[in-house]
Amino acid sequence: MGNGLGRWGDDSKALAKRKEVLNKFFNKIAKPKPKPSPLPRLIVRKAPFKAGDCLSILLDDGRYTAALVLRADNSNPEYGKNLVASLDYLETAPPSLAFFELRRWLIKTHGNWNNEQDISWYQTVRFKEASKRIRIIGCIDVWPSDPNDSRFYSGWISLGTQITLCRAHAAKFS
């Protein structure tokens, strides 16, 4: 002990206080811990939907849009996620199950999206507050030709917002 105390050498009060603090610390770590801390409890949050679920989303303005769940990934038990594709639907009534079979993917035409499909991974984080406006209309088969991945992650609260942005952009140019 004593290494690194050179900077306190000029002030004997500061040196004494530093030695006291160091001794207290060394005494604390010299004793073995009586019981190790328990591991944090694992909170399992599975993906809320299964592949093929047809979702109706109520927007703030009272209109409905649609989305199709393409995959459910529960490989990380704490953070399950769904791959969801938005459909080109914006009406005053919820979509019918037959509409989902048409697979009219929403193409993002606004901003710098370069006509990409609106497909994102949605994790379970903050799903509860968004779930109040999401309803399952039914379930259909996911086709092998359907998209199966995305480089984007979104929050459930934003599900359905891209359709209004696309429609506003289209209205500007019509």
pLDDT tens digits, one per residue of 14-45: 788 888 888 899 888 888 878 888 888 988 89
Q: Residue 100: phi, psi to the nearest 5? A: -65, -35
Residue 14: in which H helix or E strand, if any? helix 12-30
pLDDT at 53: 98
Residue 11: in which H helix or E strand, if any? none
In DSSP terms, 135 is beta-bridged to 56
Residue 144 has which token pair? 């092998």
User: Could you tell me where the DSSP H helices lie in 72-160?
Assistant: 97-102, 127-130
Residue 134 has which token pair? 């999401």
pLDDT at 15: 81
pLDDT category at 168 given cuts 50, 70, 90 is confident
pLDDT category at 8 given cuts 50, 70, 90 is low
Residue 103 has which token pair? 């697979």
What does DSSP say about strands 107-108 and 119-123: parallel, antiparallel, or unpaired? unpaired
Q: Residue 20: phi, psi to the nearest 5? A: -65, -45
